[in-house]
Amino acid sequence: MQVPFYKYQGTGNDFILLDDRETNVELTPELIRTLCDRRFGIGADGLMRFVSASEEGLDFSMRYFNSDGNPGSMCGNGGRCIVRHASLTGALKNSEATFRASDGIHMASVRPDGKVVLAMKDVASIEAVTMGHFLDTGSPHLVVQVQGVESFDVLLSGRKLRNTWRDQPAGTNVNFIEQKGDRISVRTYERGVEDETLSCGTGVTAAALVAFRLGWVSESRVLLETRGGELQVNFHPDTEGFRNIQLIGPAERVFQGTIQL
């Protein structure tokens, strides 16, 4: 069977996208792992399924899977990429989108320069823990301050820390951050990928909020550098947490094709 697919990337965080308007292939964990394999498949950090809207007021739904084949929590870069796909394929009436993801309903817009502004879930609190700060930005994240983040062993430390959070039986993502002038440098170990990725949308969101809490930035507009490029996070600090959080950055179609299954 020939299955059409699309490949997208958002600051180097790359995804396979299957559009239900074009294919209804059954996704098993084994198939997802094969498709995401960088040697025997297409290669990606994760796989998304574009699901046509079944609820009034929604443009579509997003189903996300990690490259290990398991259903994933909210993916910020993936969310921006699937909105760009909806725009490029005519699924949106204008430049704005409303869609459902694993953590609820999100709104987004595509700017003329191709960057996507994605509204993230509110964050009620940030918990200070022994190794750093923990918060949930649609996915669970541990944020750790380090020095020399460029040369830091993210793989070794990420693997050690991913299972240390008691309330997350599936583990947590781990972000290592350092202040670099007016920007925050972020590197992320992602659960489900079990490796460092070039960028993580929910991770940089977590990093921006922690940087504000630490006093590294005084404005609620934070620029963050990942290995895959620059992202921006806007937010409004509340008494305890944060609201009106936006993740802003590029989302690009890399290629499209078919794969024989």
So which residues are the catalytic ones? Answer: 75, 200
Which among 222, 239, 242, 238 has a CA at the least distance from the CA of 230?
A: 222
Q: Which residues, at least 6 apart from 250, have a Cβ–Cβ distance to it below 8 Å?
A: 10, 11, 114, 115, 116, 229
H helix intervals, the chain: 29-36, 76-88, 154-161, 201-214
CA distance 235 to 220: 5
163 and 192 in contact (C-beta within 8 Å)? no
CA distance 33 to 247: 28
85 and 17 in contact (C-beta within 8 Å)? yes
CA distance 212 to 13: 24
CA distances from 78 to 97, 132, 165, 167 (A): 14, 26, 24, 25
85 and 8 in contact (C-beta within 8 Å)? yes
Q: What phi and psi values does residue 174 have, to the nearest 5 degrees?
A: -130, 125
13 and 197 in contact (C-beta within 8 Å)? yes
